[in-house]
């Protein structure tokens, strides 16, 4: 009996060392061919520009081409599902966007993937700061003035965003829930269209990414009301945050990061995370991303995964209270 137990123990140890050896070899030999980075949106926009920059940097660091492929559709669901079903070998990665990964599952009846079960977090690239801007003829120049005007308007105060269920829409609904402001959401097919209409006076407000609004604010064509990040945007140091404007614990930012299919070997995840964080820690990358409106945030896979889990739960409550649904 003792001998049988001893044999079983030897076999178990042999299997363990064999598996460990295979995993270790993954990290040492990877990558030995080009890597696909799937961006589930059309070219241009903050996800595409930040993703292409990181792909170029990874190419230089890893010694293999990281090839960007755009697979747009269904607010990012189509491209994301493609990666969820890809081989977990480290050669198909996803440029992940919070709107797709943690908002869509709460908004769409079907997304084609499970954010937590179908993906392995590699790391977060950064946070894209959001801003509320107004047409220059709009009387409200501060967040408190905007809220006061919205409360008095029986028809509601309109604000545009890049579309239903996006992070700006969620931010607007949270502002409405937290302050009682009578805000009316006007969804567009992109942030560019919404900015065009606020510039022309068709709508008074737009909630959008700093990257898109910066040129109009800096040239004096739009009025910056506030940013909804935890800290002020480095590119707009004079614009207060929502919290500085009197709304406690109000933080809504978009994020972008990189995911792999679940069951991707851990050594590959660790190698990609280390390489990504080395890139994000350079002054050059911080400046380039900052110019896109993204604050670089080097993190571990575990930290990134925990944020996704937290955001899924957080946004579920906001979406349910606002009754946001996309079929």
The answer to whether the CB of 124 falls within 8 A of the CB of 257 is yes
Q: Are residues 98 and 164 in the same domain?
A: no
CATH number at residue 266: 3.40.190.150
CATH number at residue 194: 3.40.190.10
Give 14-67 pLDDT, tens digit per residue.
555 555 455 545 557 999 999 999 999 988 778 899 999 999 999 999 999 999
Q: Are residues 134 and 117 in the same domain?
A: no
**Cis upstream peptide for 31 (omega within 30°):** yes
Main-chain dihedrals φ then ψ at residue 148, nearest 5 degrees? -60, -45
DSSP secondary structure of 5-38: HHHHHHHHHHHHHHHHHHHHHHHHH--SS-EEEE
Q: Are residues 171 and 183 in the same domain?
A: yes
Q: Are residues 219 and 276 in the same domain?
A: no
Query: Could you tell me if residue 238 is inside a domain?
Result: no
Query: Could you tell me if residue 202 is inside a domain?
Result: yes
Q: Are residues 142 and 179 in the same domain?
A: yes
d(CA 230, CA 241): 7
Q: Print the domain residue range for 202.
A: 130-227
- The count of residues in the chain is 327
Whether 277 has a pLDDT exceeding 90, the answer reads: yes
Last residue of a domain, one of 227, 244, 268: 227
Query: Could you tell me if residue 167 is inside a domain?
Result: yes
Name the pTM for this structure.
0.83
Q: Are residues 170 and 146 in the same domain?
A: yes
The answer to whether the CB of 98 falls within 8 A of the CB of 254 is yes
Which tokens sit at 46? 């903050």
Query: Could you tell me if residue 25 is inside a domain?
Result: no
What pLDDT is attached to residue 125?
A: 98
Question: For the chain, how many structural domains are there in total?
Answer: 2
Task: Read off the DSSP letter of residue 234.
Answer: T
Q: Are residues 124 and 258 in the same domain?
A: yes
What pLDDT is attached to residue 3?
A: 53
Give 187-220 pLDDT, tens digit per residue.
998 888 999 999 999 999 999 999 889 999 999 9
Query: Could you tell me if residue 88 is inside a domain?
Result: yes
Query: Could you tell me if residue 237 is inside a domain?
Result: no
- Residue where the block lists tokens 């949270």: 174
Give 94-151 pLDDT, tens digit per residue.
999 999 999 999 999 999 999 999 999 999 999 999 999 999 999 999 999 999 999 9
Last residue of a domain, one of 186, 211, 227: 227
Q: Are residues 96 and 183 in the same domain?
A: no
């Amino acid at each position: 009996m003792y001998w049988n137990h001893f044999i079983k123990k030897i076999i178990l140890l042999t299997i363990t060392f064999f598996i460990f050896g295979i995993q270790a070899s993954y990290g040492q030999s990877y990558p030995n061919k080009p890597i696909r980075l799937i961006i589930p949106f059309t070219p241009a926009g903050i996800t595409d520009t930040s993703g292409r920059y990181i792909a170029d940097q990874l190419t230089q660091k890893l010694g293999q081409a990281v090839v960007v492929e755009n697979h747009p559709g269904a607010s990012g669901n189509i491209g994301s599902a493609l990666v969820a079903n890809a081989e977990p070998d480290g050669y198909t990665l996803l440029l992940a966007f919070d709107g797709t990964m943690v908002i869509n599952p709460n908004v769409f009846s079907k997304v084609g993937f499970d954010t937590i079960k179908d993906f392995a977090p590699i790391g977060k690239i950064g946070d894209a700061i959001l801003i509320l801007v107004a047409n220059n003829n709009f009387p409200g120049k501060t967040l408190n003035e905007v809220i006061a005007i919205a409360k008095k308007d029986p028809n509601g105060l309109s604000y545009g965003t890049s579309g239903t269920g996006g992070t700006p829409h969620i931010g607007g609904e949270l502002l409405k829930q937290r302050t009682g402001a009578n805000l009316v959401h006007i969804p567009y097919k992109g942030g560019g269209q919404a900015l065009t209409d606020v510039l022309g006076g068709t709508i008074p407000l737009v909630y959008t990414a700093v990257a898109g609004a910066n040129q109009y604010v800096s040239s004096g064509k739009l009025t910056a009301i506030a940013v909804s990040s935890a800290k002020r945007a480095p590119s707009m140091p004079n614009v207060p945050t929502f919290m500085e404007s009197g709304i406690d614990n109000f933080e809504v930012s978009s994020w972008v990061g990189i995911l792999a299919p679940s069951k991707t070997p851990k050594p590959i995840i660790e190698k990609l995370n280390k390489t990504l964080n080395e890139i994000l820690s350079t002054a050059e990358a911080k400046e380039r991303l900052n110019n896109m409106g993204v604050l670089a945030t080097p993190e571990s896979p575990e930290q990134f995964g925990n944020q996704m889990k937290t955001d899924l739960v957080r946004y579920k409550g906001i979406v349910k209270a606002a009754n946001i649904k996309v079929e």
